[in-house]
């Protein structure tokens, strides 16, 4: 059945079918304009794990999300699809997570990162994490070369580095809009080169990443503050405390968004850590922090990026941890749809009417 035949036979007002794809849509990867790569990986998380289970859980939750999207007539016809969750990486994640937990236990009990036992485990874990980064890079590059728009569904925040690398090779210069409770600018946190706490340090090793604009950061160490202040304006942080102070002093969110977006270049990659939101929206996430953005504030910011004529060249949604209630993955699925649709709109893959 062709894509058009699937569109003609699809009931956009009906319930998501059990065997349907992401958001209950009928499209496969070859037909979709937006392709989501699931990365079930949370080996080096430093607090609580579980975000590796997000791809399957968000897929399930997404089938309860309605398709109507204000300003985009029949947005769903663009086509969104997710590749199958790679079960071999699920198994590897379980194996190496146990090894990482042993490292963290030894460090918390006073061992040094220089100790032989620690170094041996860290080296093994870093090598496996590097293989994952190469896996994500290879799969991302293949989809980009096929003309797809690509998003990553993690997993922890280390998972999108491969996509960032592929975009740096294919898109030229771009900026990263990071929505996050944490700066993620640590150096090889706990010895792990590809730690979730080091993703932006790693991203900045890519010369084509011309700017990092962080929004909502509220849990940060001195090293990360110094790195930001000494970056010659390559890193700009809009700390949550300062955003709240602006609002308390009567500055509206639209004006704040304009200030944020003015720092971004034409091409924008969105790195969305779910803990950038108020923790009432994501209580199960691995490292929740009080404060943060509302869902509507985050969506307004993303839409305004598109409305200014900038192009979203890729994105990730990470650190969604499934909960017994299903609340976290419900919120995650809805944010994923926002990211997919806005990336599609900014690239002219669907009608766009304000």
**Domain 3-346 carries which CATH code?**
3.40.800.10
Mean pLDDT of 145-150: 98
Query: pTM for this structure?
Result: 0.95
Main-chain phi, psi angles of 25, to 5 degrees: -80, 155
Q: Helix %, strand %, coil % for the chain, to 5? A: 45, 15, 40
Cβ atoms of 130 and 159 within 8 Å: the answer is no
Cβ atoms of 12 and 67 within 8 Å: the answer is yes
Q: What is the pLDDT of residues 14-61, one digit of tens each?
A: 887 777 899 999 999 999 999 999 999 999 887 778 999 999 999 999
Domain boundaries, the chain: 3-346
pLDDT at position 117, please?
84
Task: Please report which confidence band the pLDDT of residue 196 belongs to, taking 50, 70 and 90 as the band edges.
Answer: confident
Give me the helix-helix angle, 327-346 and 54-62, nearest 10°.
80
pLDDT at position 189, please?
67
pLDDT > 70: percent of the chain: 98
Separation of alpha carbons 142 and 210, rounded Å: 24
Separation of alpha carbons 6 and 10, rounded Å: 6
């Amino acid at each position: 059945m062709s894509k058009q035949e699937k569109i003609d036979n699809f009931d956009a007002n009906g319930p998501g079918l059990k065997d349907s794809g992401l958001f209950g849509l009928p499209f496969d990867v070859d037909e979709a304009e937006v392709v989501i790569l699931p990365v079930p990986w949370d080996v080096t998380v430093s607090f609580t794990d579980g975000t590796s289970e997000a791809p399957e859980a968000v897929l399930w939750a997404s089938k309860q999300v309605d398709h109507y999207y204000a300003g985009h007539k029949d947005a769903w016809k663009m086509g969104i699809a997710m590749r199958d969750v790679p079960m071999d990486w699920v198994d590897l994640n379980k194996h190496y997570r146990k090894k990482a937990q042993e490292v963290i236990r030894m460090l918390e009990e006073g061992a040094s990162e220089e100790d032989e036992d620690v170094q041996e485990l860290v080296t093994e874990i870093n090598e496996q994490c590097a293989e994952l980064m190469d896996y994500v890079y290879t799969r991302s590059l293949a989809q980009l070369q096929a003309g797809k728009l690509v998003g990553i569904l993690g997993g922890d925040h280390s998972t999108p580095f491969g996509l960032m690398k592929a975009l740096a090779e294919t898109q030229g210069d771009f900026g990263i809009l990071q929505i996050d409770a944490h700066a993620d600018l640590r150096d090889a946190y706990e010895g792990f080169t590809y730690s979730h706490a080091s993703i932006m340090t790693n991203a900045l090793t890519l010369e084509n990443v011309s700017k990092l604009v962080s929004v909502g950061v509220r849990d940060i160490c001195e090293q990360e503050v110094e790195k930001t202040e000494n970056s010659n304006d390559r890193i700009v942080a809009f700390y949550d405390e300062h955003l709240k102070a602006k609002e308390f002093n009567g500055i509206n969110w639209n004006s704040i968004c304009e200030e944020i977006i003015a720092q971004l270049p034409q091409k924008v990659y969105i790195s969305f850590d779910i803990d950038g939101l108020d923790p009432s929206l994501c209580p199960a996430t691995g490292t929740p922090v009080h404060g943060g953005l509302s869902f509507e504030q985050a969506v307004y910011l993303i839409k305004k990026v598109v409305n200014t004529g900038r192009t979203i060249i890729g994105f990730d949604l990470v650190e969604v941890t499934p909960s017994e209630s299903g609340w976290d993955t419900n919120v995650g699925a809805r944010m994923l749809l926002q990211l997919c649709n806005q990336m599609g709109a900014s690239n002219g893959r669907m009608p766009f009417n304000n």
